[in-house]
Amino acid sequence: MTGDRAYSWERLLSPVRPRDYARGGAAPVARSRSGDHRNPFERDYHRIVTAASFRRLQDKTQVFPLERSDFVRTRLTHSLEVSSLARSLGQLMAHEVRRRGLDPTLDRRAAGELCDLLLAAGLVHDIGNPPFGHYGETTIRDWFHKHLPTLEYRGAPLTRLLTPAMQADFLNFEGNAEALRVLSKLHFLVDEFGMNLTLPLLGCLIKYPVAAPDIDPASPNICRHKLGWFQADSELVAAIAAVTGVSGARHPLTWLLEAADDIAYRTADIEDAYKKGHFTYGEFRDALAGEAPSTADRTPAQVRRYADWLDELDRLLAEGRERALEQPEFYALQNWMIRLQSDLMSGVASAFADHYPAIMNGSHEQELFTGLASEPVLTALGTIAYRYVFTSRPIIQMEIQANTIIGGLLDKFIPAAIYWRTDVPQSSLEPRLMSIVSENFRASYDIHARGRDEVWRLYLRLLLITDYVSGMTDSFALNLYRSTHGIV
């Protein structure tokens, strides 16, 4: 490693939690408690799996909404798969770094702890996503683009009262940023620190380490493409930076968490879509062959590897038929995906080691798949999923449904929140609507609004509603929409 900004695994795996930081800054904290031999990230894992917000992921869309089949993935089963893949990637990466002798500080203890951190982070990487899949995020953003200019507070437009950064939080709403709020504030147990997970774990979840004013979708650095945190969480982000030493860049383990997520959903989307009949085996095989790269846009090694994967798919189909399996095509598809996952994981671990100095000083900018021999296959799977799944009638219908339900709830709750906890008289409806909002969320608002000026409190009230809507499951959102709109 080179450079003055090189990170230290001791700080990247610090046991400090938000409550510790509030009481003593970045002062050292014991890694284990008397009688409790778990490391800090194992304790994080236990807190997560017993949390209601984690359980609610079982009724949130991954791709297919309100799915009744036990086979097709929900946001919960997807998160379990990402958790497992992330931990395995941590093991592979640590082994590769140690094998190459790149960093003697990545010892056995650090390797074990980073794997436990990734295991926990994988469980909650999507915990801030609203109902109805990623289109729920789009719906929230679209609603504010349309309605923010029309909203007023005490006769003044919100666009004049709220700072540009505050407005940008809603116009660029992201589930990734919402995850920080769910874990650090909204899961109200003892006090204002939420689940009080370790700061390195929270830092690992920040996929885009920029606030709204610094977003740059055209940047060659993928870390700048989307919103990383809301203005309301800036103090938490500062605490993460002070403890881990990472500021304005990704925590090194975030690269592995992102890779685990990409591997999981790219392969799972195809498998689930096949199971639901969106395409046949033959259509998938033809589509995959149709996406075969040429040496004009890929390296010779990538072209050869793509051909090898086509041959492997054919070989597995022949094997399934030789074994007289009832569904040889599904056997081939499933086992092909498993082999592809393994290949991609090995490649990602090697890529992490290849780019180790840049990752460990915050200057790395491209996802770890870039340049891998099997990268074109992963790209092709995304193209095929878009063609057969994300433009299909059921998904388009889900997106229309999400727009109606989430937009309809925002129509009701945002106007109610604007004058909530103020001296401005309201009709009998608005207080009733606000009484429906989660008691935990309202308690969190009261704590974090204390001592703030009027504009900041207004901003937090709007954020309270996006918190509430984002925390809903698909079924809850649908039922609440019906009840608040008089639909029996």
Task: Report the distance separating Cα 10 and Cα 37, nearest Å.
Answer: 19
Amino acid (one-letter) located at 424: V
Q: Contact 65/477 with Cβ under 8 angstroms? A: no
Q: Give me the phi and psi of 362, to 5 degrees please.
A: 80, 10
Give 240-277 pLDDT, tens digit per residue: 999 999 999 999 999 999 999 999 999 988 988 888 88
pLDDT digits (tens, 9 = 90+) for 143-153: 999 999 999 99
Phi and psi angles of residue 48, each rounded to the nearest 5 degrees, phi first: -70, -50
Distance, in Å, from the CA atom of 136 to the CA atom of 175, rounded to the nearest integer, reads 9
Q: What is the three-class DSSP state of 73?
A: coil
What burial class does residue 294 get, using C-beta atoms within 10 Å of its C-beta: 0-12 exposed, 13-18 middle, 19+ buried?
Answer: exposed
Q: Helix, strand or coil for residue 74? A: strand
| CB proximity list for 230: less than 8 A, separation 6 or greater | 169, 177, 178, 180, 181, 212, 463
Residues 145, 217, 239: CA angle, nearest 5 degrees:
90
d(CA 440, CA 459): 18
What's the pLDDT band for 1 if we cut at 50, 70, 90? very low
Contact between residue 417 and residue 468 where contact means Cβ atoms under 8 Å apart: no
Superfamily (CATH) of domain 13-129+164-253:
Hypothetical protein af1432 (1.10.3210.10)
Asked if the model's pLDDT at residue 480 lies above 80, the reply is yes
Give the model's confidence band at 67: pLDDT under 50 very low, under 70 low, under 90 confident, else very high.
Answer: low
Residues 435-466 have pLDDT tens digits of 999 999 999 999 999 999 999 999 999 999 99
Give dist(CA 247, CA 5) in Å, integer. Answer: 10
Dist CA 270 CA 385 (whole Å) = 6
Look at residue 69 in the predicted model and tell me its pLDDT: 52
Position 364 pLDDT exceeds 60: yes
Indicate the helix (H) or strand (E) that contains 175.
helix 175-181
Q: Is 266 helix (H, G, I), strand (E, B) or coil?
A: helix
Q: Are 279 and 393 in contact (CB under 8 A)?
A: no
User: How confident is the prediction for the chain on average, in pLDDT?
Assistant: 92
Q: Where are the domains of the chain?
A: 13-129+164-253, 268-390
Q: Is-contact 140 407, C-beta < 8 A?
A: no
pLDDT grade, residue 316 (50/70/90)?
very high
Residue 390 to residue 147: CA distance in whole angstroms: 27
In this model, does residue 391 exceed pLDDT 90? no
How far is the C-alpha of 206 from the C-alpha of 174, rounded, in Å?
A: 11
Residues in the chain: 488
DSSP state of 148: G
Structure tokens of 171? 């116009």
Cα–Cα nearest to 466, from 53, 131, 207:
131
* Spatial distance between the Cα atoms of 341 and 312, rounded to a whole number of angstroms: 14
Rounded to whole angstroms, what are the CA distances from 422 to 25, 44, 116, 165? 34, 38, 45, 23
Tokens for 261? 């997520």
Q: Write down the H helix ranges in 40-163.
A: 40-49, 52-55, 75-100, 108-124, 135-147, 158-161
- 327: confidence class by pLDDT, cuts 50, 70, 90: very high
How open is the CA angle 152-174-186, to the nearest 5 degrees? Answer: 80
Band of pLDDT at residue 414, cut at 50, 70 and 90: very high
Mean pLDDT of 59-79: 69
Please give the pLDDT value at position 63.
57
d(Cα 111, Cα 109) in Å, to the nearest integer?
A: 5
- The maximal CA–CA distance of the chain, rounded, in angstroms, is 77
CA distance 84 to 162: 42
Cα 116 versus chain centre, distance? 18
Which tens digit of pLDDT belongs to each residue from 214-226? Answer: 999 999 999 999 9
Whole-number percent of the chain with pLDDT over 70? 95
CB half-sphere exposure, 351, CA atoms < 13 A:
23
pLDDT per residue over 2-32, tens digit each? Answer: 344 589 999 999 999 999 999 987 777 776 6
pTM value surpassing 0.85: yes
Task: Dig out the tokens for 89 from the structure.
Answer: 């990637």
